[in-house]
Amino acid sequence: MFKYINTKKIKNLIICIFTLIFSNTALSEDQDYQRVAVEAKKKLQIAKNMQFTKQQDKAFWALYSEYERDLDDVYRDKFDLVQNFKNASASRRVTDQQANQYLESFFEIENRKLLIKQGYIEKFQKILPGKKVARFYQIDNKLDAIINHELAIKVDLLE
């Protein structure tokens, strides 16, 4: 997958993400702590795979923090949607209308995420060479793919 990523660390990242996503408790300080831990592990994987100069490092992480803050609501909405759909589909009482609402919400969330990510391309290009920007987006998309895969296997197909 990644040239330098330790699979044990990715496994731990996924466990942290799912502890956060599928916790049955209300949002708490503990969940906030878990979210911070997940973000730290993502940052570690990005740092290991980017090879920044000192100047790039400082500029990148400042912009990355802004990028993640802008994506935070999108990720929360997606996790909430998946949890709600998981609960509804487990009860086997999903109506056509509910399924349509789920799809509409899912694509609205995905579009918001895409717009935010696209909006940051030029910002990253101002502080990093094109290849490094592309590499960052590759890493970011691979981490998203891991998370999306784990989310997908937690939700049964509708009947």
pLDDT at 113: 97
Domains in the chain, number: 1
Contact criterion met (CB below 8 Å) for 50 and 60: yes
pLDDT at 74: 92
Owning domain of residue 110: 7-153
The answer to whether position 159 is within a domain reads no
The answer to whether position 142 is within a domain reads yes
d(CA 114, CA 45): 21
d(CA 86, CA 12): 23
The answer to whether position 30 is within a domain reads yes
More confident residue, 156 or 28: 156
The answer to whether position 31 is within a domain reads yes
The pLDDT tens digits of the residues spanning 31-65 come to 566 567 768 888 899 999 999 999 999 999 999 99
The answer to whether position 158 is within a domain reads no
pLDDT greater than 60 at residue 11:
no
Contact criterion met (CB below 8 Å) for 56 and 141: no
The answer to whether position 1 is within a domain reads no
pLDDT at 70: 96
pLDDT at 126: 98
The answer to whether position 104 is within a domain reads yes
The pLDDT tens digits of the residues spanning 103-152 come to 999 999 999 999 999 999 999 999 999 999 999 999 999 988 887 887 78
Contact criterion met (CB below 8 Å) for 79 and 140: no
